[in-house]
Structure 1
Amino acid sequence: MSDDSGLVTITGHQDFGKTVDDVCAAVAAMGYHVFAQVDHTDNAVRAGRELPPTTLVLFGEPTVGTDLIAERRTEAIDLPSKILVWQDADAVRLTYNTADWLVRRHGVEREGAAAAQVLEETTEKICRQAASARP
């Protein structure tokens, strides 16, 4: 599902930990690099709070992202690319930004828009692969 916020959310079909692992494996299989995983749930616990499973995976390929950043330096605030894996009462979800949102937010031109589209297509493939993987 997608909306005007520039976010796409799809539903996963396995448990949370396996989904995060499969996102990272799919990133590597696509030739991209996982730069970091931010475990928001662990951070919440350390702060004495509760939060359902929520992990942000930051990934990218500098030859793609650099084109965007070179055109509009502000793109660096949204790169590397991110996939948020989170769990609600019903299922595990995967959420990512659309290329259109990035282009509108930063006012990138034709070359940057093409690079943003490549990032979105790759991110969608990673999410769909991780969401559809079976144990």
Structure 2
Amino acid sequence: MKRILTAMTTALSLIGAPLMAETITQNSPKSVSATMDALQAAVEGAGATVFARVNHGAGAASVEMELTDAELLIFGNPRLGTPAMQADIHAGLQLPLRVLVYAGDNGTVVAYESVETLFDGLDVPLDAEFAQRMTGALAMLTGKAIAE
């Protein structure tokens, strides 16, 4: 009986468990700062707005702590973000888009969450044109950032 209860408890906990977030990563042959410079240039060249470039490593150093070289770019385009928020205002908790560039164990890594992960649990149609364009934009922009 104890085994059955344990199995049922485990099964029920898995049913309610959230899906694992899909983080898309790519390796860059460049340094963190050079990759981030290329990403920022690609974003601006595509007509999107850069809202912030956060240097996490410098932030850590400012309080005398160590952190691997890491920068975050926060950017967006209201032509894509607005329809997502019109579908579900809570999409605003996930937008603008963010890409992290950091020094990994084997070189520079570019990372971002998939659009499916960003809008998981929201009433945002993932098959909508704006969602597909976000997916394409993230892939294209990060591709430009890592290109030699």
Query: Common fold, TM-score beyond 0.5?
Result: yes
Indicate conservation of the 8 Å contact 2:42/2:144, yes or no. yes
Q: For 1:67-78, what aligned pairs fall within 5 Å after superposition?
A: 67-78=83-94
| Equivalent residue in structure 2 for 1:117, among 129, 132, 147 | 132
Instruction: Find the aligned partners of 1:105 and 1:12 in 2 and give their Cα distance.
Output: 32
Indicate conservation of the 8 Å contact 1:33/1:59, yes or no. yes
Instruction: Tell me whether 1:43 sits opposite 2:43 in the alignment.
Output: no
Instruction: Sort the Cα spacing of 1:105 and 1:91 in 2 relative to 1 into closer, same or farther, 3 A.
Output: farther
Partner of 1:130: 145
Instruction: Find the aligned partners of 2:91 and 2:119 in 1 and give their Cα distance.
Output: 9
Query: What is the CA-CA distance between 1:110 and the residue it aligns to?
Result: 5.8
Runs of 4+ in 1 over 6 A off after TM superposition: none
Query: What is the CA-CA distance between 1:120 and the residue it aligns to?
Result: 1.6
| More contact order relative to length (CA 8 Å, sep ≥ 6) | 1
Q: Which protein has the larger Cα radius of gyration, Structure 1 or Structure 2?
A: 2
Instruction: Find the aligned partners of 2:34 and 2:89 in 1 and give their Cα distance.
Output: 35
> Cα RMSD over matched residues?
1.7
Deviation digits for residues 77-100 of structure 1, max 9, x if unmatched?
110011101111311011112122
Instruction: Find the aligned partners of 1:36 and 1:48 in 2 and give their Cα distance.
Output: 23
Please give the TM-score of this superposition, normalised by the length of structure 2. Answer: 0.81
Query: What is the CA-CA distance between 1:45 and the residue it aligns to?
Result: 0.9
Query: What is the CA-CA distance between 1:51 and the residue it aligns to?
Result: 0.4
| Equivalent residue in structure 1 for 2:68, among 48, 52, 56 | 52
Give unmatched runs, 5+ long, in structure 1: none
The count of residues paired between Structure 1 and Structure 2 equals: 130
- Identity percentage of aligned residues: 25
Indicate conservation of the 8 Å contact 2:125/2:131, yes or no. no
Indicate conservation of the 8 Å contact 1:7/1:96, yes or no. yes
Partner of 2:120: 104
